[in-house]
Amino acid sequence: MASPAIPGRVVVVGASLAGLSALEALRQSGFEGELIAVGAEPTLPYDRPPLSKQVLQGHWEPEKAALRDQSQYDALGVTWHLGRRATALDVAARTVTLDDGEPLAYDGLVIATGAAPRQLPGGQELAGIHVLRTLEDCLAIRADLETASRLCVVGAGFIGAEVAASARVLGVDVTVLEALPAPLARAFPPELGAACAGLHTDQGVDLRLGVTVAGFEGDGRVTGVRLGDGSVVEADVVVVGVGVVPETGWLESSGLRLDNGVVCDATCATSAPGVVAAGDIARWPNNLFGETMRVEHWSNAVEQGAAAAQRLLAGPGEAVDFAPVPYFWSDQYDTKIQFLGRCCPTDEVRVVDGSLEERRFVALFGRDGRLVGALAFSRPRLLMAYRKLLAAKTSFDDALAHAQSPK
């Protein structure tokens, strides 16, 4: 049977932001067929950024993190399989198998199973050691922080930094351990990593750089983190934020091309017909930057979910490249960190507004004569103007000239 141009049934595996965006885009594009969504968590899609901030600090009850209200979910006309994991994909038979053994046939499939936090050895054997990905994780940390006096965060990336900031706001003593010589040293040049570090040391965080974790101390419940030099950082709660790995385990027997994610073409199509991927799990060539990337940001999940849905509905020759300017933000204490584009530690960096010292600035990243990224601390209006320049492949010199022009 030839695959229909317009699928009759679309299955979306992964019921978080990218999956929801795909479901909504399908309906908004006039798709009237059957929609089935599979989600490992028991809840309808909710928003993850508040889990390290408003919900963790107790300012929001978990319900406020819902991405849509019930009437909006009802209007989508989706059959939800929640609390269910997909365990296998058969691209020839066009079926997804769920963990209760039920096979689901599809005409079109959106893979949006995201990523899971990387664990440290021994990190799952003691109570009080957490990762943060799900609402359940967040509520467990929140409960522990209520009685905690000392939090140790492993990893000074954005999750670790936001958890550290939230805990300081709650009055908990915080130690942050980072293996690299500066926070975010794989992305930013040292002076910008130092600016990120300063946000925390200003607030009394004990930030230890260039240290390794050898293991955890405790009997039943964690009491400390043992470092590579044998010393111990005392802690009654530990949060491990050392990155995520794409949730591709269920696809290993599928024959789909996998390589640190699901490999897609420039239009979000995978190596199997009728199968697209979006969000944290998708690796695709972004032709705006001439780079194959996998992006774990909130905005990418929204935009790529929609793009992948459009790809499923596109007829021959109608597929459009997905070539966005990646964007992320992080709120830590009273500082809003925002980044547009791409960056690496060897990029040329120019501060074009404010200064690193006052922790209010815009910095531009140049590579091979081209503007590739822009970072701001608490300068949202100025930063956002660079999105169009990044999308237009503006030269670094022209971007610097723009920065000097009156706004």
Partner 1 sequence: MRVVVDFDRCQSNAVCMDVAPEIFEVRDDNFLYILDETPPEALRSKLEEAVRRCPTQAISIAED
Site for partner 1, rule CB under 8 A:
21, 24, 47, 49, 67, 298-299, 302-303, 306, 327, 329, 331, 336, 338, 378, 380-381, 383-384, 387-388
> 82 CB contacts (<8 Å, ≥6 apart)?
15, 39, 41, 42, 43, 44
Question: What's the closest the beta carbon of residue 323 comes to partner 1, in angstroms?
Answer: 16
Question: What's the closest the beta carbon of residue 388 comes to partner 1, in angstroms?
Answer: 8
Question: What's the closest the beta carbon of residue 240 comes to partner 1, in angstroms?
Answer: 25
Nearer to partner 1, 247 or 303 (CB): 303
The overall longest dimension of the chain from CA atoms, in Å, is 65
Nearer to partner 1, 11 or 382 (CB): 382
Nearer to partner 1, 378 or 395 (CB): 378
Nearer to partner 1, 246 or 324 (CB): 324
Question: What's the closest the beta carbon of residue 384 comes to partner 1, in angstroms?
Answer: 4
Question: What's the closest the beta carbon of residue 186 comes to partner 1, in angstroms?
Answer: 23
Question: What's the closest the beta carbon of residue 127 comes to partner 1, in angstroms?
Answer: 33
Question: What's the closest the beta carbon of residue 318 comes to partner 1, in angstroms?
Answer: 20
Question: What's the closest the beta carbon of residue 67 comes to partner 1, in angstroms?
Answer: 7
Neighbours of 373 (CB within 10 A): 24
Nearer to partner 1, 104 or 195 (CB): 195
HEC profile of the chain: CCCCCCCCEEEEECCCHHHHHHHHHHHHCCCCCEEEEEECCCCCCECCHHHHCCCCCCCCCHHHHECCCHHHHHHHCEEEEECCCEEEEECCCCEEEECCCCEEECCEEEECCCEEECCCCCCCCCECEECCCCHHHHHHHHHHHHHCCEEEEECCCHHHHHHHHHHHHCCCEEEEEECCCCCCCCCCCHHHHHHHHHHHHCCCCEEEECCCEEEEEEECEEEEEEECCCCEEECCEEEECCCEEECCHHHCCCCCCECCCEECCCCCECCCCCEEECHHHEEEEECCCCEEECCCCHHHHHHHHHHHHHHHHCCCCCCCCCCCCCEEEEEECCEEEEEEECCCCCCEEEEEEEECCCCEEEEEEEECCEEEEEEEECCHHHHHCHHHHHHCCCEHHHHHHHHHCCC
Nearer to partner 1, 67 or 351 (CB): 67
Question: What's the closest the beta carbon of residue 49 comes to partner 1, in angstroms?
Answer: 7
Nearer to partner 1, 36 or 383 (CB): 383
Nearer to partner 1, 205 or 340 (CB): 340
Nearer to partner 1, 233 or 340 (CB): 340
